[in-house]
Structure 1
Amino acid sequence: MLHYCLAHLAYHFSRQLPKRSRAKLPKSSRYCGQPLLVNLTSFIIFTFIMTGFTVILTLMDPIPNEVKVAFHVYGVGSFAQGIATTAFTVPASQCANTTPELYYLSLVLSVLSVLATVFVGFLIPFWLADVFNKGMVSNHRSRAGVCQKPVANCSYLWHV
């Protein structure tokens, strides 16, 4: 209902603008040469998809393989989105003067994307080692494995 309400309000507020200026997007002093707004829109779409996966992954037990595959494909797409965000933000320093909110939001999202990539990049070798040699990294039943002590309290890091 929130999305319906927002669209409804946007419709009514847009009617307050003169007809001739509703669809114009002039190049003015508030113009950013990089596609940061388009990138932010795709970032919002990824956020909605992430919300769906969060609900599915927290409510389902066991998780079907199709959902796991879809989640990992989403992860690859999210990685590409992070690269695109960073690639668009780095050369957009002139946008800090024209559209500072958009630029700084893109900058924060770029930094968070890089940090998330580093974190997942650190975990990938452990995930792969556990796939190829089950229980080598962390075996919860026998309480053995290379990483059993460090992850005894946070076993949720290992897999979906």
Structure 2
Amino acid sequence: MKIETGNVATIAYDITTAEGEIVESSDISGPIAILVGAQSMIPGLDKRLVGLDVGAEETFEIPPEEAFGTEEDAPTNVVSRAEFPKDAKLEVGQKFQANMPNGTTLTLAIREISDDTVTTAMIHPLAGKTLSVSVKIISVRAATSKETEAGRAMVTPPPPPPKK
């Protein structure tokens, strides 16, 4: 069965930066099942999976615009000026790190400052980076109605193969 948008594909994968830095690997976390077309992993990956069949092994280069974006197009958030220390000297362009509840560290860049608010861009650590994604298609199946409604695969993928 070839992958189509709306199928659930279970994949083994390696994600690296163009510089060779390992971002994530199913060798560590195990294969994942994704609802193709729901942009559940990296947006540009979904369209590259369409048409592949079980057993296919491919490597894709995914530009920043189809991965985690660029610093320039990072989403923004407006926060109260009161969230910052009163004596903080804030300047447009200033950057600082913020730890998110899920453990991810984001760079926040100040875009605008008013008397009451500060607008920051929320920059993902991989923003601006081209990614290399190697995949092996383990299985493909039609999504259930619950998966389609939820917008995600609802299965636990098989454990990774034993190391040789």
**Normalising to structure 1: TM-score of the pair?**
0.21
Q: Which has the higher helix share?
A: 1
**Normalising to structure 2: TM-score of the pair?**
0.21
Higher RCO (CA < 8 A, seq sep 6+): 2
